[in-house]
Structure 1
Amino acid sequence: MRFALHGMCSLHNNIVSDIRLAKETGYQGLEIHTDKLWRYINAGFTSQDFKSRLEHANITPTAIDIIGSVEASEKATQQRVFQEVETLCLFAKEIGTQTIQLNAFEALNGLSVEDNISITAKNIKHIADIGKDHGIRFQYEGAAWTPIAKLSDYYRLHDAVGRDNFGFVLDTWHFWASRGASPEDITRIDNNLIYNVHLSDGKRPDKGQPWVDEKQLRGYLLGEGDIPLQEWVDAIKSTGYDGFYSGEFLNDQLWEADHYETAESMLKGMKALVGG
């Protein structure tokens, strides 16, 4: 099994430091945090600069994470998102990663799930067509508190998009926290639709209770929260998925701790669950 350092684990690093961190703590890949990537690009560095550093460290860029607001219905926001897609697709192609993550959030709250899927799918069709020209595919992640968060709605979105370069990233916390899928549901996913896996632990509100700040629910290393992670990992493995796993959390104290210790702890936790 292969493991990627998720850039969220070292939030206040830059992406060049993330490459070194991944290499020196035993990872094979790096899932690139988009805010860090934009800082890198805006500072005047190129994809070739970044690619050479990846190659020197023998680190695989597994995905660029994330392009958000893909549910936008306002023309100005749509055009901004599409321009981001163009720029990041070119960068992704040049550094040798084929995957970019898409997230839809809450711009369409108040509309039905059906309308959320319809509007979001129209945008993702255009995004997928941009990516097709560069050989890029897109993985969707539905945040637990957003309208398109259940696995059944992932499938409906996938059918509505109708593009062969559009699939899923499976995040254990988002599915568990939203009560949007069970391990048994996961076993039935076609592994061709699984582009990456995020392992994350945490808490969730009781049924009928409102969502609180995400950091209050996801501020845990693997094994410290309430998710029966081994059941979820076993379900994912049963699909035949053999790609990268990355561990994720949101926690101010961990971000201010020693990144090496945190990265090593996340890798140890993933290996205990997945093997390898």
Structure 2
Amino acid sequence: MKLSLHGVSVWYSNAVTQLRIAHETGFSGLEILPEHLYRYLDNGGSYAAYRDLMAKYSIEITCINALKRIGRHQPEARAELLREAEKICQAAVELRCPVVQIMALTELDHLPDSERDAILLDNISAIADIGAPLGIKFQIEVVAFTAFNSLQHALDLIKQSGKDNLGVVVDFWHLHAGGATTPAEVARMDKDLIYGVHFCDGRAAKPGEAWDEWVQRNYAPGEGEIDISAWVEAVKATGYDGVWSPELLSPRNWEQDLWDISRHCYEDMNKYIQ
């Protein structure tokens, strides 16, 4: 099992500082956000220098999170999506990172189910083909507030694709808040299709409330409505022994000391997993 600091948990920091924070608070990995990585590169950083820092702090990049809006399908938009996929895959190669996260947002929600699925299948297959020669895998995150929000839906598309470098991330908040997946379904999964776990708390949107992750996820572990222990035990029941990452998407917590945030993430996750 590898514990990997999630870049969202220390949102107000940079890619370099995140390596040091992860190292000094007990983590051996970092799930990095492309916006943090690209900002570093756009302002004088280099992949070589970043690899040196990774070695200095003994931190692996376990995932780049994320390639978003994978449902883009109009010709120009789809071409842009595939260019972004190539760019993020090249970043993964440079950082010796094995996994890139991909996710649809609401760009397809207005379409009939069959049309939406056809587009998603076509796009994730094309993305998988970009990463395959490079040894890159892709973890699909289903998003609670979209029409593509169930674990089984993602697994069905993976099976239909026939690609062996597609899997899922088990994100406690998205699966709980989406309401279409139970811990029991996770417990029955093939562990080889789990590429990562996002450990987090929160709640679903209330009736009449707009979806806003900065509101519904603004909870430290144990403060929200998720039965964290049930989700943890479900993952463990599969035999999964890969990367676990605490995703603390919490504006309230983000205003604390970055090292304290990371330390609490590490301690909270260990309390539930161990």
Q: Secondary structure at the match of 1:167?
A: strand
Identity of aligned residues (%): 33
Contact kept? 2:70, 2:103, Cα under 8 Å:
yes
Q: Does 1:253 align with 2:257?
A: no
Query: 2:229 maps to what in 1?
Result: 230
In the TM superposition, residue 210 of structure 1 has moved relative to its aligned partner by 4.9
Tell me, in whole angstroms, the C-alpha distance in 2 between the residues paired with 1:21 and 1:174. Answer: 26
Contact kept? 2:102, 2:141, Cα under 8 Å:
yes
Tell me, in whole angstroms, the C-alpha distance in 2 between the residues paired with 1:45 and 1:75. Answer: 33
Amino acid at match of 2:115: D
Query: 1:71 maps to what in 2?
Result: 71
Contact kept? 2:28, 2:59, Cα under 8 Å:
yes
Name the stretch that deviates more: 192-201 or 114-123. Answer: 114-123
Q: Secondary structure at the match of 2:108?
A: coil
Tell me, in whole angstroms, the C-alpha distance in 2 between the residues paired with 1:69 and 1:108. Answer: 9
Query: 1:132 maps to what in 2?
Result: 132
Tell me, in whole angstroms, the C-alpha distance in 2 between the residues paired with 1:161 and 1:194. Answer: 16
Deviation string, structure 1 residues 138-158 (Cα, Å, up to 9, x no partner): 000011011111112112221
Query: 1:151 maps to what in 2?
Result: 151
Q: Which runs of 5+ in 1 are unaligned?
A: none
Alpha-carbon spacing, 1:67–1:8, altered in 2? closer, same or farther (3 Å): same
Deviation string, structure 1 residues 145-180 (Cα, Å, up to 9, x no partner): 111111121122212322100110110010011112
Query: 1:220 maps to what in 2?
Result: 219
Q: Secondary structure at the match of 1:72?
A: coil
Amino acid at match of 1:256: E
Contact kept? 1:25, 1:264, Cα under 8 Å:
yes
Query: 1:46 maps to what in 2?
Result: 46
TM-score, normalised via structure 1 length: 0.95
Q: How do 1:103-182 residues align onto structure 2 when only pairs under 5 Å count?
A: 103-182=103-182
Q: Superposition RMSD on alpha carbons, in Å?
A: 1.3
Q: How do 1:77-88 residues align onto structure 2 when only pairs under 5 Å count?
A: 77-88=77-88
What is the aligned length? 274
Contact kept? 2:248, 2:265, Cα under 8 Å:
no
Tell me, in whole angstroms, the C-alpha distance in 2 between the residues paired with 1:134 and 1:126. Answer: 14
Q: Which runs of 5+ in 2 are unaligned?
A: none
Contact kept? 1:177, 1:204, Cα under 8 Å:
yes
Amino acid at match of 2:204: R
